[in-house]
Structures are given as C-alpha cells and as structure tokens.
Structure 1
C-alpha cells in the first residue's frame, strides 16, 4: 500500500499529464461534473492544489477535528451554493487565459505540494477549510478530489484515467462514508462515479445495496 505522499504524487502525476495535454479547442467541452466545462474544472483543480499547499504550511493545534472520511461527510452544499460556485468559477475561467496558462500553474502547484508533503510527517496536524486534519488525511482529501475530477475530465476527452491507487482511495473513502463495502461488481472507477452521483444507480444496484441506496450520492 503506498504512503499518503506516494498516493498523492501518483494521483497528481497522472492528472498533471492530462492537464498539460489539453488543447485550446477542448476548453469548453463538457465534463462529468454537470454544468462544468473542461476549463472550469481545470481552474478548480488549481484552486484545490493551492488549498493543499496552504494547508501544508498551516500547522494546527490538537486535537484533529476531522479525518479523510469525515471531511467529505461535512461537505453538503445546497443546490444554490453549487450553482454559485459554478458561476463564479466560470467567470474566473473565462479570463484565465486558456488551458496552456492554467496547466503551467497547475504543474508548479502540484510539484510544490509534493515536495511539502514529502517534508511532512503523517501525524502532523494542519488546518484547511475550518478543519484540523492529520497530514496523511489531508493528502487523502487532495488525492480523492483530484481522482474524481480526473474521471470528470475523461468523460468527454480521449485520455487515460486516474492512477489505480487514486481510484482505490476514492473507493476506501466512499466505503467509509457508507459504513459497508460497495458492490463487488463495481470496479473502482464505477464506484467513484456512482458513489458521487455522476452515474445513476440501476435496479440491480439498488437490489444489492438495499436501504443504503437511499444514501447515495455519498458525496458530490
């Protein structure tokens, strides 16, 4: 099993290669994140990598108030909040300069996050978005965010998907939120898409999940 730093570095390496390869004509293609275009999502990824870099430089006093699973349980925006974030991101993306400019910024940020993560201890406490997390839990949140949005990008782009270890971490977090294993017939990419509501459950899924099906999506 990779360390949290190795997990994040593998996740970012795969995603950074995709972002680096984006072409100008792909900027406004749709993604698996409803209402978000490729450039919108790329800017969001820049923002999340920046979150990681800031968090790694923001030591926090004990105790930890969240972990790699509970972090997502607390993230329950309303439809209006989602729409507001999407609109604000679209406005910013429209003047961001295009995929080439954002890919350069993203590459610099993820490289810096990787270095900072490597210098941290898993048990160190850091602050992010009102939470106090162990560093290894922070790195998990960054990897999960990146992996899910990597899947979003390849929904309409002919590119390789996320690193296998990143998808395995998404599944681990989703199963932690559910409190039970996800259906064995789902591969990790399917688990990520269905667990986050990007792909609907069918009747067979609902039969396997039983009452737990009503809890989907586990996070969005």
Structure 2
C-alpha cells in the first residue's frame, strides 16, 4: 500500500509539472494524446474511491495478480469507453482545468488509500479482493501509465524505480514468463505490453517468448 501511494504521488506530480503544450503530444497509449491519458487517470482515481467504499461480504476471489486479464490484441480505439475518454479530454480545453481535476480527485483517492484497512474486502468488476491487493494491483496501472505519460515528453521524470521493479515482477507472474535479466525493468514493461517492438537483439534473447507478445492487460 505504501508503494501505491509513492507511485500515485509520483504520477500526479509528473502531470502537475507538464507544460501546457505537452498535453497535445502523443502518449504511449495507442491512439491517445497526453490529455486523453490524464483524463483516463481522473476516471481511474474515481474508480479507486468507489471501490474503497464498496465493501464485500463474500469470499475473496482475486488478488493483485489475478485482478488483471490478459489479451494478445492491442487496443484499436473502437472501445466506447476509450472514445468517451477522448471526447471528455477535449472538452476540458484548458490543460489547467484537467490538472486541477486530477489533483482534486487524485488527492482524495490517495487519502482514501492511506486510510484503508488492507484486510477489508472490496468489490469491483464482479471481483472481490482485499483493499491491500486491490491497491497493489494499481501499482502496475500507475507505473505503466507513467511510462505512457513520458513516452512523448522529456520535461518530467519517469516512474520510481521500485514501482518499475514491482510491476515487472507482477507482469512476469501474470504472463507466466520470466524475461531476460539483461532487460531493464522499463524495457520489459514496454516490450511485454506492446508499447514498443523488441529490437532484433532483444527478440533473439527472448527466444520463444517473443512469439507470445504482447501481453495486453485490462
């Protein structure tokens, strides 16, 4: 849960430091500008708030790893929610308004996470998890989207090293595969999730694992 707070705070600080002109640049999320990604983070923060106040009485069904579903298909942009995010982001017009909304809702989500009982069972998307596992799952979400944020901009810092390491560990468990030690944590996350293609040298090191890429998480 501490890592949730650190990775979330780092991502929000990176957004707050973005110059206005960077909001119109492409992000690392396929088909999304930086402003679209930031709008998605607002929705994510709302989801965290909603889930932490949705207690469950039934047994736990998922943990931080099994929370994630894996697909081999990269987003096409045709998903109705993805299209809605783009329209919502455009409606903000002034990046300062989008920054303010993320800071407002994001700070509330961070406080709720700090106050949550890690053993509390919560319900989301027809799953029951402990609050601790739910927040741990979001370390992956924050870290990947932090990489998406800085993919097209150089003005802000990337995700914390401990978030990268934990996300790599989770991704390898989700995928049931271990990536070569020569790959940095960042390279594993970018290549494994299809955010970039492996180089020829990387593909050679990956061997049979290269044919299983990408692992698209949702």
TM more than 0.5: yes
- Alignment partner of 1:95 is 2:91: yes
Deviation at 1:27, TM superposition (A): 1.9
CA distance in 1, matches of 2:109, 2:185: 25
Query: Which of structure 1's runs of 4+ aligned residues deviate more than 4 A?
Result: 74-83
Alignment RMSD (CA, Å): 2.1
- Which runs of 5 or more structure 2 residues have no equivalent in the other structure? none
Shift of 1:77: 7.3
For residues 110 and 73 of structure 1, the distance between their equivalents in structure 2, rounded to whole angstroms, comes to: 25
Size of the aligned set, in residue pairs, is 216
TM-score, normalising length: structure 1: 0.88
Deviations 1:36-58 (A, max 9, x none): 00110000011001111111111
Report the Cα distance in structure 2 between the residues aligned to 1:155 and 1:69, rounded to whole angstroms: 25
Query: Aligned in 2, Cα 1:168/1:23: closer, same or farther, shift over 3 Å?
Result: same
Q: TM-score, normalised by structure 2?
A: 0.89
Offset at residue 78 of structure 1 (A) = 7.6
**What are the equivalent positions in structure 2 for 1:200-211 lying under 5 Å apart?**
200-211=197-208
Distance 2:130 2:36 in 1: 29
Residue 107 (structure 2) aligns with:
111
Deviation at 1:13, TM superposition (A): 1.4
1:151–1:162 contact (8 Å) kept in structure 2: yes
Structure 1 gaps of 5+ residues are none
Q: Counterparts of 1:121 and 1:52 in 2: how far apart (Å)? A: 14
